[in-house]
Structure 1
Amino acid sequence: MSAALLATGLRYAPAAILDDLGIAVIRTWLRDTWGAWSRTHRRIVIASGLSAVQERCVLAHELEHVYADDADCSNPLARVRQEQRADLEASRKLIAISDLAEVAQWAGDPHTAARELCVTERLLEVRLNDLRGEGWPWRPQDGSRIAG
Structure 2
Amino acid sequence: MSVTPLLSAGLHYAPAAILDELGVPVVRTWLRDTWGAWCREHGSIVIASGLSDVQERCVLAHELEHVYADDADCTSPLARIRQERHADLQAARKLIAISDLAEVAQWAPDIHVAAAELRVTERLLEVRLNDLRGEGWPWRHQDGSRIGG
TM-score, normalization by structure 2: 0.93
Amino acid aligned to 2:70: D
TM-score, normalization by structure 1: 0.93
CA contact (8 A) 1:57 1:90 kept: yes
Deviations 1:34-79 (A, max 9, x none): 0000111000000000000000000000000000000000000100
Distance between the aligned counterparts of 2:129 and 2:11, measured in 1? 16
Distance between the aligned counterparts of 2:37 and 2:133, measured in 1? 29
CA contact (8 A) 1:36 1:46 kept: yes
Shift of 1:141: 2.9
CA contact (8 A) 1:26 1:46 kept: yes
Structure 2 residue aligned with 1:15:
16
Structure 1 residue aligned with 2:120:
119
Runs of 5+ unmatched residues, structure 2: none
> How many residue pairs get matched?
143
Following TM superposition, the consecutive aligned residue runs of length 4 or more in structure 1 with deviations greater than 4 angstroms are none
CA contact (8 A) 1:133 1:142 kept: no
Distance between the aligned counterparts of 1:48 and 1:57, measured in 2? 14
Structure 2 residue aligned with 1:42:
43
Shift of 1:97: 0.2
| Equivalent position SS for 2:73 | coil
Runs of 5+ unmatched residues, structure 1: none
Percent same amino acid at aligned positions?
80
Check if 1:6 corresponds to 2:7.
yes
Distance between the aligned counterparts of 1:126 and 1:111, measured in 2? 14
Amino acid aligned to 2:30: W
| Equivalent position SS for 1:36 | strand
Check if 1:66 corresponds to 2:67.
yes
Shift of 1:135: 1.1
Distance between the aligned counterparts of 2:7 and 2:41, measured in 1? 27
Counterpart mapping for 1:1-148 below 5 A: 3-141=4-142
What's the C-alpha RMSD, in Å, of the aligned pairs?
1.2
| Equivalent position SS for 1:64 | helix
CA contact (8 A) 1:29 1:47 kept: yes
Shift of 1:140: 2.2
| Equivalent position SS for 2:37 | strand
